[in-house]
Amino acid sequence: MSLNTSKIDRITAILDTGPDPALMPIGRRIRTKVCDINNLDIPERSGGIYLIDIDLRDPRKVGRLREALYPRAADDVYIFAAGSRDHPSRVQAMNLGANHVINKPMDAVQIAKTLVSLCEMAPDGKSRPRGQRSPVLTTPTTGDRSPGSPYALAAEATAAAIPSVTAASEAIDDIFWAMQENFIPDMGLVTDASVTVLKALTTVPVDDWLTNVRIHHEGTYQHCLLATGVAAAFGKTGKIPVALRKQLAVAALLHDVGKSAVPRRILEKRNILTDGEMEIVRRHPVDGYEFLRKTTSIPDAILTAVRDHHELLDGSGYPAGRTAGDISPLTRVLTVCDIYAALTERRAYKPALPKETALKILHDMVERGKIDASALATLETSLKG
């Protein structure tokens, strides 16, 4: 394949092992630096193209990658390699800011095609990344990630949560992908993930589970996972029937799938949304509801919760401004879990609020007649476990 090298200055390949044979044809055309993730040193951080083929399930390697590549330069382009069905690795790649994810094993043709598709000439003659991802989703947690650091200790302390967090992230990734591509989603994956998370939270403290999510995930994925963890923990003290807890966990996994239809430039915007942009965002509950209604056979109670999770008891919510009499019990609980997750998540434009502060805000919403008091009381009890 012919590659216009005049548009590309250099490539840095970050690999698990030695040079990949797939890079040889590329290296003859473009200056290519090969780096070992286990001994990573990238002194020049003025922007460039990075081809990354490492074990994205290994927290130590992901930590080294973050240390080397962030803060991200304006012209950086990240190309990750991951197995076509390795959902956790593909999700991790997107969380790390992938402009594109190619399939393993890599080959020279797909690398070349990706380089051509991602880069075009800017007016000043420099390479400009096409589809650059916003820092809202891609900027990682800052700070020391070396062995013994608070980050490393937190990752080690919450390692028991990883299998269930991974199962939930796979399900979320699949459902978002299905809506984007207009495919029938794998509801078995969603159901299995909900059961896995519910089971994990019988032994893993909910705070550990949520901390593990915050360590390894960003942005929309972080929010969906946090909402799932909070919802799965809801009522685990025995006050809520098991069947209802299962429905709640599934609803939490699905609740924001409608955001697949929201343009990324809006979803990841740092500043206040315009009225037009807010109108688009506020369509996501109905968009998600309609997609799930047409492509799945999930219970009406879950569909309704997905559609109404932004409704408030006093009629000030959206999309329909429903009031208390029209908001189902499952929806009331999902709304409280969703708001708590949003308050305690970290975003580029705001820090994560402490649990106590978030609960204080929710109590204020109860006093103003916006959310269900009994749902909040049960959530507060559940979060102590």
Neighbours of 337 (CB within 10 A): 29
**pLDDT at 309 exceeding the cut of 90:** yes
CA-CA distance, 91 to 176, in Å (whole number)? 11
Per-residue pLDDT tens digits for 267-278: 878 788 899 999
Domains of the chain: 5-133 (3.40.50.2300), 150-382 (1.10.3210.10)
Q: What is the pLDDT of residue 21?
A: 66
Q: What is the pLDDT of residue 293?
A: 92
* Strand, helix or coil for residue 127: strand
Q: Apex CA 116: angle with CA 20 and CA 16, to 5°?
A: 20
**pLDDT at 169 exceeding the cut of 50:** yes
Query: Per mean pLDDT, which range of 50-54, 133-137, 183-187, 338-342 is the poorest?
Result: 133-137
Q: Place 298 in a pLDDT band, splitting at 50, 70 and 90.
A: very high
Are 285 and 307 within 8 A, CB to CB? Answer: yes
CA-CA distance, 298 to 339, in Å (whole number)? 24
